[in-house]
Amino acid sequence: MTRTRSLCLPALLLCLSLFAGCCAPVTEKTASQAAFEIGFSPKGQALSIILNGIEQAEKSIVVAAYSFTSKPIATALLEAHRRGVDVRVVADAKSNSGKYSAVTFLANQGVPVRINGHYAIFHHKFMIFDKRHVETGSFNYSAAAADKNAENVLLLRDVPEIAGIYAREWEKFWKEGEEVKAQY
């Protein structure tokens, strides 16, 4: 099931900042409206929401991933890279090392990828599209998440303030990460 709604951005910012454990809630006021899509799995709309976000990106996509083995997501990111979108991925070192994964596939195709091993678990699962839209939720970028697990995806559209908060955190993870070099 997919739901699309419009929200008052200040209320959404407050909820997300409290949920994220920020020290102080975001109190910016704006008249803009945010839209969102929600999808669930297994075999629901979660994967298609992510793929649509990737396909609609025009300038940039940054990805933070725990387990990353999804062929459809990796293929969509590669297609975005080939059409000129700046795609960068940072992923958990333990879950994406020592085996051929989407991380390795993308690095071998020239997509900038880093692995981050600075935490017990790098458990993030989010994407930022064009510095305006944020996809997040429990959905690991894996086949099991799409077909077997009970997961959720939330895509927030036209939320540059929220995207900025996520982007600052993502940049920290990127700087901590170790480059994944192409193997061929």
Q: How far apart are CA 123 and CA 128, in angstroms?
A: 16
CB 109 within 8 A of CB 151: no
DSSP state at residue 151: E
Q: How far apart are CA 53 and CA 85, in angstroms?
A: 12
SS3 for 139? coil
Neighbours of 30 (CB within 10 A): 12
CB 144 within 8 A of CB 68: no
Catalytic residues: 123, 125, 130
In degrees and rounded to multiples of 5, residue 148 shows phi and psi of -125, -40
Q: What is the per-residue burial (b if ≥16 Cβ within 10 Å, else e) of 129-153?
A: bbebbbbbbbbbbbeebbeeeebeb
Neighbours of 33 (CB within 10 A): 14
